[in-house]
Structure 1
């Protein structure tokens, strides 16, 4: 939303509602909270004010900078609605949500330079970026591109010192911004996380160069394989350019996804983690299963057991994020939507039958090994917001890097 005044009027109206719920939101904050809950040491580059800081009393989370003085804290408004909910004659075919925000700090990447400076002493194993879709609030396109170029510089510096990076996708409404992100940021990322809408938009954009927002909620694994093939072609283009490059001052060719070594795709029916063989990542099975389970636990899991000595059960009071081990799937509220027989590759005509006792199945595409697990989908979810960030935060926390003895993850928004 472009108007700050109008947005904060809506925030005031929302705050006056009797049943409004207040929770941690946003890519960086949610992923940081989830990763730290699963045992990671985290440096968060999100700009946080006094209200958000209440949720981050965990000593394993280090904040780069807090919002002080008269600066307004970034707020996201989420309107959740369930399947068959009706509004003015329109009936929802599935549970979903409507987002509204006016992020100033995230739109301008206001803590980027401080974040990069802090990285030198933090010495991360992995750096995670997300929330770039919020930059659409910045209407000065040139200023926006300059900030993206600064971010691309951070990615290049991390690449130069062999620090892996992960980019978390989100909803797209400004395709000029999306195009700039693909052009400037994606050439340097090692890992990406995305859902079915984000996969379709990226796939369509890379294949056709055109924008698209229409998609299906029942994607196929074939789209993921197309992304892998695109990444393979991009890598070969860059490698060919390097071999033929002479010391004549020419800039190195950059192509989106040229350094991609990992994809984490999550949808209502299944999760997939694909990674380059002989790459930097260890076996993804634990990360895949844990991230699939966390969605069901957050969206429709069993209610938390009151903690000993708790004086209040007010869910709007600041509480630390529960670990996945403290959460349980409610078997009465979930179902599987994935067919027993799955076509893993049309080109290879590779079909497999899912085994309920051993549900993780594997397949190969180009030089990537892919691992798929069916989802326990919620029949009637309590929430749909921030599920993807919990999923990817868990996946990153459990997916170890080879020859890495520490678990330090960094999240910036």
Structure 2
């Protein structure tokens, strides 16, 4: 916006200088300068063009969900400045190093620096209960600390509850503070209520912020907790039992990622129990699974190959989770250690196709139910669906992208002066196979391409330049995408 204004100002100065220096110059030269100036002043920015086009593209689905059941991870998020909290804990900056499980303040320090330097989101389990409680008290007392609804299930339920035509059931470990924060429209089974809350600490950082030698390339957050109820998915059976009375027409499930920090012996057995419980959900009710940050490849393989993924219809994930899926399953581009800046669209498309062909319903004879994947990263989103199973996906992916812009900036409508387009303007629909060159058209900002019997819908995201809060964006994106989706065939 400021660049356009600067160019316009320079053109105006040039026009004025030319006229006052030699008013006898041909009139058509002055007309050209004046026309250029008027065009610059009146032409909408690419961000404005996309925001307007979204409003046309995002149309309500012909069939809408009326009763949605969401479970099972829920908590209270305590949001603080990551750098500020570590300073308050008298921690000295340390070289970044990832830890699958945090066992000390030093592990927290190193893991935070590791992910801040990459601008990546992550979530870890803090094994020391007393150590976590000391850090949690410091976070709660930190100036400016904020308390929010937390946990993927509760955040998705909270987002869905903003639509008055929906009745939302939320099941999870819900203590008094969380119950107070939840939307009044949300139905909470009495069996979900507990005497104490589970707290998660959200360490946020801004683009350019430093912790020792590490500097954040973009705003993001690091999450950690010592959360036993959610880590064991202790409310899963309660959730499934409540569905018989509630009779939902959509089930949204999350919280599987919380179990991996408990160790292989626990998660191996609990995952089998989870599959049995999920299998009890009526076949005609579609299930969406929301994934989150994981580090145990064996655990991820169990979810993919023989456990959960084949019995759900839809999944939502981000770039870290997608790449880890491929690494765990030896899929396309699994040799990549991490994405470089904006993930390559062709590489993402390759992994999404592999995921649906390997673990989904691309083969009509397959017993798997998975037919939809909603991928989101900072710069763009992709909805990949098996043909014949879902409709209104152009509107769904655009709606998800729009809510990423508005929620990050804390506004009701996209403010073009506060966002920037970071999506690639040209890209390929595949990296591994010869694929067509595709271009982003701001006037029709959802790009569509096909690979065998899978259709891909890509929408750019208008990235908020000064985000107010990054936590829960993925959950809001998935919730919004589901709200605008229509399932054509009940597997």
TM-score range, shorter chain: 0.7 to 0.9
Give a deviation string over 1:262-303, Cα, whole Å, max 9, x none: 010111111111111111x2221222111111111111143x
What residue number does 1:282 align with? 391
What is the aligned partner in structure 2 of residue 293 from structure 1? 402
Displacement of 1:133: 1.5
Which structure has the greater CA radius of gyration? 2
Aligned length: 360
Structure 1 unaligned segments of length 5 or more: list them: 243-253, 303-326, 405-413
| TM-score (norm. length: structure 1) | 0.80
Higher helix fraction (1 or 2):
2
Cα RMSD over matched residues?
2.5
Q: 1:190 to 1:177 in 2, by over 3 A?
A: same
Q: Select 2:155's aligned residue among 14, 30, 33.
A: 30
Q: Secondary structure at the match of 1:359?
A: coil
Partner of 1:146: 269
Greater RCO between the two (CA within 8 Å, min separation 6)? 1
1:247 paired residue number: none
Indicate the larger mover: 261-270 or 379-388. Answer: 379-388
The gaps in structure 2 that reach 5 residues or longer are 1-125
Of 175, 188, 191, which residue of structure 1 is paired with 2:297?
A: 175
Q: Structure 1 residues 284 and 138 mapped into 2: Cα distance closer, same or farther (>3 Å)?
A: same
Alignment of 1:327-338 (within 5 A): 327-338=412-423
Work out whether residues 45 and 64 of structure 1, in 8 Å CA contact, stay in contact via their aligned partners in 2.
no
Matches within 5 A, 1:33-112: 33-38=158-163, 39-63=165-189, 65-69=191-195, 72-112=196-236
Partners of 2:173 and 2:230 within 8 A in 1: yes
Q: CA offsets, 1:36-86, max 9 Å, x none?
A: 2134322212211000001224234334634434xx311110111111111
Distance of 2:400 and 2:322 partners within structure 1: 18
> How far has the Cα of 1:371 moved from its partner?
1.0
User: What pairs up with 1:185-200 in 2 under 5 angstroms?
Assistant: 185-200=308-323
Aligned to 1:113: 237
Partner secondary structure for residue 207 of structure 1: coil
> Over residues 363-386 of structure 1, what are the superposed CA-to-partner deviations in whole Å (9 max), with x where a residue is unaligned?
112211111111101222222221
TM-score of the aligned structures, taking structure 2 as reference length: 0.68
Match of 2:146 in 1: 21
Q: Secondary structure at the match of 1:265?
A: strand
Contact between 2:158 and 2:186, CA under 8 Å: does it hold in 1?
Answer: no
1:270 aligns with 2:356: no
- Higher alpha-carbon deviation: 395-404 or 117-126: 395-404
* Gap change, CA 1:93 and 1:21, over 3 Å in 2: same
Q: Deviations over 1:137-165 (max 9, x none)?
A: 424x323222211111133233x623211
